[in-house]
Amino acid sequence: MNATRLYHNPRCSKSRGALELLRERGIEPEIVAYLDTPPSPAELRGLLKALGLPARALLRTGEDEYAALNLGDESLPESALIDAMSAHPRLIERPIFVHGGRAIVGRPPERVLALLD
């Protein structure tokens, strides 16, 4: 988890904005096209640990899969949420910037800069 990488969706304006901000500062992160290559449950657990967030905080609640999989059910265990995000990566909030063993969700995109200090 020490690599500099950006979990990126090129169709998302926030994700594109975060990448642009990083490049303006001379940072070329490893780009993880997470929709094409979804993170494994183990990788998601590592990301959540670096983010300091529970799985529910990384879920995009407006996606169709969220309702279809009944992920609003508060009784679902963390493992079920992680498995759902791995199987349906559109559920993962974006972008996620990883740098120096830490991670942050780039919403707004300027938040990625906090890891550069």
Catalytic residue among 1, 4, 5, 12: 12
**Among 25, 40, 12, 17, which residue's Cα sits nearest to residue 4?**
25
Burial of 104 (0-12, 13-18, 19+ CB in 10 A): buried
Distance, in Å, from the CA atom of 96 to the CA atom of 103, rounded to the nearest integer, reads 7
Does 12 qualify as catalytic in the annotation? Answer: yes
Distance, in Å, from the CA atom of 28 to the CA atom of 6, rounded to the nearest integer, reads 9
Three-state DSSP state, 80: helix
Catalytic positions, written as ranges: 12
